[in-house]
């Protein structure tokens, strides 16, 4: 049996470069893993089973990852998976993708490494765009549909408050709405330069999330959360991560972030920091 924690993520910027022939959108995004975690227990079994309260077993990305692992090289066997959620659900923070990433990593260890690193990343990219980066961790530039990874040696360390807007936006709806109404585009090269130098002012100037306009349209409460962040004098910068519905506020200290939680009432919120480790074996 393996017990593991796997981190969530935030998008420091997200650009959409166009549509692909397969119906997906080509993206260029910079992702940072953060210290909020799902905890999983994984053991060898005869069949695949997933225990995750509130989520249907067969549609769970952890289940899909296990199926892909065993089918890819016709490996006989199975696994039992138990998931305790700590990453906010449907927030654009990689919760379901992190579970798939952990399953692929753990199964490859439990079954004596039948897949190479590139093979694992390829399986992950077919399950979800965020799975490969959550298998590697740290600060990464992700292109294509998330499968092309480039490490970014970031000097940007932060305390942030993630607040989930009351609503639900699927990635599919966010992208289709973007196709209709468009969005703002970051200067990704300058964002990366800002991360390398640790220049927060420059990062704020050049970062953007092309899906933010769509998500604020689809989930008006996210716009309310954004307005609260922007009225908070201690918040240095705020932005939507991924396709939402979590809005991220950057703060100078943990104390500032904790105090600001009171502004958001009963909305789900968590104080987070950047982390270089995405998977931690317990």
How far apart are the C-alpha atoms of 61 and 89, rounded to whole Å? 13
The residue annotated as part of the active site, out of 5, 9, 15, 64, is 9
Do 183 and 210 form a contact (C-beta atoms < 8 A)? yes
The answer to whether 28 and 195 have CB atoms below 8 angstroms apart is no
Type and span of the H or E element at 48: strand 48-51
Helix (H, G, I), strand (E, B) or coil at 20: coil
Catalytic residue flag (residue 130): yes
Annotated catalytic residue: which of 15, 130, 232, 274? 130
Helix (H) / strand (E) containing 191: helix 188-197
- Strand order across the beta sheet in which 237-240 lies: 237-240, 246-251, 159-164, 269-273
Is residue 255 within 8 Å of residue 249, measured between CB atoms? no
Residue 257 neighbours by CB under 8 Å, 6+ apart: 159, 160, 161, 249, 251, 271
- 3-state helix, strand, coil split of the chain in percent (to 5) is 35, 30, 35
Stretch (H or E) spanning 196: helix 188-197
Task: Say how far apart CA 141 and CA 49 lie, in whole Å.
Answer: 33
Q: Phi/psi class of residue 167: alpha, beta or left (left: φ > 0; alpha: ψ in -120 to 50)?
A: left
DSSP-assigned letters across all residues of 57-107? TTT-HHHHHHHHHHHHTT---EEEEEEE--SPTTSSS-HHHHHHHHHHHHH
Q: Catalytic residues, which ones?
A: 9, 130
């Amino acid at each position: 049996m393996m017990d593991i924690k796997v981190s969530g993520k935030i998008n420091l910027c997200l650009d959409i470069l166009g549509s692909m022939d397969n119906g997906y959108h080509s993206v260029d995004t910079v992702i940072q893993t953060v210290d909020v975690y799902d905890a999983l227990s994984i053991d060898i079994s005869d069949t695949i089973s997933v225990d995750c309260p509130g989520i249907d077993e067969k549609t769970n990305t952890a289940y899909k990852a296990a199926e892909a692992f065993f089918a890819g090289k016709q490996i006989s066997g199975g696994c039992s998976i138990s998931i305790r959620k700590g990453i906010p659900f449907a927030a654009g923070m990689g919760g379901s993708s992190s579970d798939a990433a952990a399953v692929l990593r753990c199964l490859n260890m439990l079954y004596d490494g039948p897949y190479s690193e590139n093979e694992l990343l390829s399986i992950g990219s077919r399950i979800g765009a965020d799975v490969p980066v959550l298998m590697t961790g740290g600060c990464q530039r992700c292109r294509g549909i998330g499968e092309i990874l480039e490490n970014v040696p970031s000097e940007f360390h932060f305390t942030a408050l993630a607040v989930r807007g009351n609503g639900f936006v699927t990635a599919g709806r966010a992208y289709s709405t973007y196709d209709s109404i468009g969005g703002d585009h970051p200067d990704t090269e300058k964002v990366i330069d800002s991360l390398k130098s640790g220049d927060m002012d420059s990062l704020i100037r050049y970062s953007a999330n092309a899906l933010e306009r769509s998500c604020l349209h689809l989930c008006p409460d996210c716009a309310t959360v954004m307005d609260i962040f922007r009225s908070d004098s201690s918040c240095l910068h705020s932005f939507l991560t991924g396709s939402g519905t979590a809005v991220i506020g950057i703060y100078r200290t943990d104390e500032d972030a904790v105090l600001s939680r009171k502004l958001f009432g009963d909305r789900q919120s968590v104080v987070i920091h950047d982390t270089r480790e995405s998977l931690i074996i317990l």
